[in-house]
Amino acid sequence: MGIDEYGGGQTAQSDVLVVTTNDVPGYEVKQVVGEVFGLTVRSRHVGSQIGAGLKSLVGGELKGLTKTLVETRNQAMERLVEQARARGANAVLMFRFDVTAAADVGTEVCAYGTAVVIAPRA
């Protein structure tokens, strides 16, 4: 798997900055828009589940599952950014992921944070 298949995060061209910190150096929060989140639930097809089960017997990375989780996280983050943008924010502070099993049929990934409007400090 190449870096594009197991990496994630924002591109430099994004108009909504997403950070895991409480603030952005050199900027001040002008308005708190509120909590935003992006949610997705994904399942794997039975063939890949069987393959993952067999792989777990000998050990090693489950590359198919890794790729699916990366795609799922990226989709959840894209939805978070869309919601923040739609609500007038230009940044999301305190960004986090929450991952849980969804009724034993898939993986639920929620990306969440606080949408804000920031501006450079004067």
d(CA 53, CA 97): 26
CB atoms within 10 A of CB 78: 15
Top pLDDT among 12 and 82 is at: 82
- Sequence length of the chain is 122
Token duo for residue 100: 């849980």
pTM, entire model = 0.80
d(CA 80, CA 57): 37
* pLDDT score, position 89: 98
The answer, yes or no, to whether residue 91 has pLDDT greater than 80, is yes
Backbone φ and ψ for 101, nearest 5 degrees, come out as -75, 140
Q: For 21-74, what is each residue's pLDDT tens digit?
A: 999 999 999 999 999 999 998 876 555 555 555 556 667 777 777 788 888 899
Which residue type occupies 34?
A: G
Top pLDDT among 4 and 62 is at: 62
